[in-house]
Structure 1
Amino acid sequence: MNLRQSTLVVKLTPLYGNQVADFQLVTEGYQNIVFRCTHQEETVFIRVAEARRRSVSMIEAELEWLRILRDSGIIVPSPRKSNKGNCIETISLGEDTFYAVAFSKVHGRPMDVTNSQLWNPQLFEKWGETLGRIHSVVPKRQIARPYWGEPLTSASETMAFFEKNEDCILKVRLFETVAQIENLPRSADTFGFIHNDFHQGNVLVHNEGIGIIDFDDCVYGWYAQDIAAALYHAFWQATALGGSDLSFGFSFLQSFLKGYRKPHNLSSEIVRQIPIFLRWREFFLYAVFMKNWPLDSLEIWQTYTLECLRKRIKNGEPYIPLSSNELMLLSEIR
């Protein structure tokens, strides 16, 4: 652990653990720091977020949404109270403030694109069905989370990065896409509460079904955005590591959307929007990587990834080829 992580552990220990040695760093991701420890005889994961990125009310709304999903039979983490009896703890490090939340462990195995026993059309269908179930859960009252593009969302952070750091042509491409998104219809069939980072890294597979983790970015947005995130990262991993070819995108969606439409209406408008949000994912990832990767000591694959993202964004090239005929066929899936 680095100095900041070690100092956080010292602050967290009286709240969740017995001694500093109980804590293990799981990851310092692009947005949060996550530790694992034994708390009240249970393995928990403690997410630590900077207060400049998340307000207490936003975290409370996230926890409310998780409760609603659990009550609907969806496998998601449960918050665990600290030794002080709080679901959210405030931690100060000098001038910086952090919010800590402990979550129960969601059991299951990560998806492995090289394992055909796990990575197959049957799994894609079940994965899509799980997302359809999430999108079918409509809160009885407004959840206090922002709408896509509002302050303290990943979309607003992406736009702010391009405004400050990128050249004119990339800014033009960004705001062309933003304008396209903001003009999309917001009907009950296409718009609602979304996970907002629904890639396979946040999916765990076990005998009881599929568990979903990391709702930190949840917002009101377009359902197609969650579908596009799943497709984008599945395609990336399957073609880079799993030996799949460019046809994987269409075949993946055939299975995924077959499952999705079981609990949720799959309108042709949702399918039409998928390429738009595949493009948005490129802007989002480019900004995240540029902010978090060591630009003066990039590995070869990181340099290649950034070059490809920049080229596709600049030239308006799609990452995943989906023809208009394929989109029409996907709209008709039963």
Structure 2
Amino acid sequence: MKFGLSTILVVMLAAASVPARACTTFWHQFQGRSFVAKNYDWNEAGGLVLINKKGVKKQSLSFNAGNKSSEWTSKYASLTFNQYGREMPNGGMNTEGLVVEIMWFNQTLYQRADDRPSISELQWIQYQLDRFSTTAEVIQHADKLRVAPIYAKVHYLVCDKSGNCAAFEYVNHKLVISRAAKALSNSSYSDSVNYMKRLGNGAFKDNPKSSLNRFVGAMRECSSANKPSFDVLNNVRQGNFTKWQIVYEPSTLTVRFRTTAEPAIKTVRLKAFDTGCKSPSLMLNINTRKKGDVTAAFTAYSSEANYALLQETTKPLQKHLPPGAVWLLSRYPKLTQCTQ
């Protein structure tokens, strides 16, 4: 979709990604149930929780005239957490119980340009949720698509409802997949595991909330399986810098979350939604004051709300943005098409 957004998006998301580099995600069990949990550590707190429908035809945004766009139709519906507009999620879970989460990874070196279809680092998440039901499927297809980044240096943790997880990282311009990964912070999976082996049962070195220590802390807590997800998240949180805490339960398609601004836990039942694209996509302000089960609190998605979100999360960057950038991004979802 080459409609003049390339420069706008590069400037906006590059600036938005600079200030903060963190997050921790892990898989664990508690009382015989499996969960995937994430601390979203970032400088911005705003966001939308979105219900994305199946049967929607999409084309990836092209950020460079030399990139080949990807085209696909969503096979599965999903719930995602979005901070920089619809179709560019920061993580989520689909109706098959596949969870995809993103974290900053400063050592990322993406694959060099070639003739494969490309996609941005955030839309990569939506693509996996739209198309695949298991971690094995994501692994099988991962190298058929090239990440053409807007700016952010990231890596991903993918888990499915059977508990199979894998880390996806771009190291030295090559895709590295770690099939045994159960946690990820902001260091490579291999560096994190090696550090954990060296540390053994010893005390943390240096900053206890460093990337490596957060990884070890999460793994230690998860191995004991005696604490609920939010307790483990609190043990690796970074004070008020942790803006969102999210817990997915793939087996029941239930998502629980809370924010620093509104710390009461909210629950969403993904099974309760009409997943076909003939009905509108749905949204909920992530900082809603409601508590408990908020499934019924979702309302029809609107480009106006998307626009308002983008205005909020890019407010410190307005002087760096071309005129109309936020408006164009808010309108992008209208270019997708329902095939049902």
> TM-score over 0.5 for the alignment?
no
Tell me the TM-score normalised to structure 2 length.
Answer: 0.26
The structure with the largest helix share of the pair is: 1
> Bigger radius of gyration, 1 or 2?
1
Which protein has the bigger strand share?
2
